[in-house]
Amino acid sequence: MAYAVFKWNFNTAVHFGTNKGQLAQTTFVLKSDTIFSALCHECLKLGGIDLLDKFYHQCAQNEIGLSDGLPFCQETYYLPKPIIPVDRQEKEHSSVLKKNFKNLKYLSAERFEDYLQSLKGNSDFDVQSENEAFKKIVSADNRVMAAVKGQEETQPFYVGTYQFAAGAGLYMIVYYQKEDTIAWLETIMNSLGLSGIGGEKSSGLGHFTVDDVIFLDDVYSEGLEALKKLLSVQQADYYMTLSCCLPTEQELPKVLSQPAHYSLLKRSGFVASYDYASQPMKKKTLYVFDSGSCFKQKFCGDIYDIARGGKHKVYRYAKPMFIGVKI
């Protein structure tokens, strides 16, 4: 198994919807199932059903795996904070310190092991500096847009957006087995950058360019070295997922029979296909484990059919990408 990193540089603001379905609310990370769906649409546009089938089957057979789209800034790569209930032995019971740790959502790959050690009181972790550094890479805003179609008068509405700072954006990790995979996947991602991803693409949001692919066999920075090390861990106390995922019915009892610490994420929405039905139809709701969830037992997950009786299948990507967590 080999790994490659794709870095997306957004030249526009982005709107990535939340489960609450309100345009004024947004997030700045992309879930792996959203990326998978967007790549499927781009495959269909570029190569028709043959390219789509090729991409789907390679993902289904674990020849390709996708992480979430996670934040980066220059050569600093951020990971979700692991969901691990370890009692932190604080030298000072400061309410400010506790609040800083609670507000920590992402931490740099280089500081990941330092953070784990700090939970046990074995090292100092400057959580305030980590939070302050992260705040500088992305900023929130509300844009006023106008609804005109079908309205007698222009109706303004608010759309929540995020803007990445210069040198910052989202990165995703791809694992692959076949050497030619990355070349054609890079073509699809470049095309997706022109099309845009997320909501309000027709209003100019969500467009990006893709840096040259980084192969983790040829690392050149501390951040990439840290990612490679975490992905290479074979034996660990826990395995943390970098993608939203869900074990199969056969896997689930075994996964939950051992200590597991996780956050559930509701995934729903409408089918984005004009061929699916004559009117907009909702997908089946699926609850998945969010990235950052930690398990004693690894699992494969699946790509689930979430169609509701339309003209073709609709898939939800729910396979994990694990890193090792030693505590």
Within a 13 Å sphere around the CA of 258, how many CA atoms are in the beta-carbon half?
12
DSSP states of 170-219: EEEEEEESSTTHHHHHHHHHHHHHHH--SS-GGGT-S-EEEPPPEEGGG-
Which two three-digit tokens encode residue 287?
A: 């609850």
Domain segments of the chain: what residues? 2-234
* Separation CA 222–CA 3 (nearest Å): 16
- Distance (Å, rounded) from C-alpha 189 to C-alpha 45? 12
Q: Report the pLDDT value the prediction gives residue 124, as an integer from 0 to 100.
A: 78
**From CA 278, how far away is CA 21, in angstroms rounded?**
22
C-alpha–C-alpha distance, residues 107 and 130, integer Å:
7
- Model's pTM, two decimal places? 0.89
Contact call for residues 233 and 327 (beta carbons, < 8 A): no
- Within 8 A by CB and 6+ apart from 48, the residues are none
264 closest CA partner among 241, 284, 281: 241
pLDDT by residue for the chain (327 residues), tens only, comes to 899 999 999 999 998 876 655 665 678 899 999 999 999 999 989 999 899 999 999 999 999 999 999 999 999 999 999 998 766 555 455 677 778 888 899 999 999 999 988 887 777 788 888 999 999 999 887 766 555 455 556 556 567 888 999 999 999 999 999 989 999 999 999 999 999 998 878 788 899 999 999 999 887 899 999 999 999 998 999 999 999 999 999 999 999 999 999 999 999 876 666 565 556 667 788 999 999 999 999 999 999 988 777 556 788 999 999 999 988
Task: Tell me which DSSP letter residue 54 carries.
Answer: H
Q: The tokens 């994420």 sit on which residue?
A: 265
Please choose, from the candidates 290, 294, 318, 245, the residue with its C-alpha nearest in 3D space to the C-alpha of residue 19: 290
pLDDT at position 314 is 82
pLDDT at site 148: 46
Q: How far apart are CA 219 and CA 259, in angstroms?
A: 34
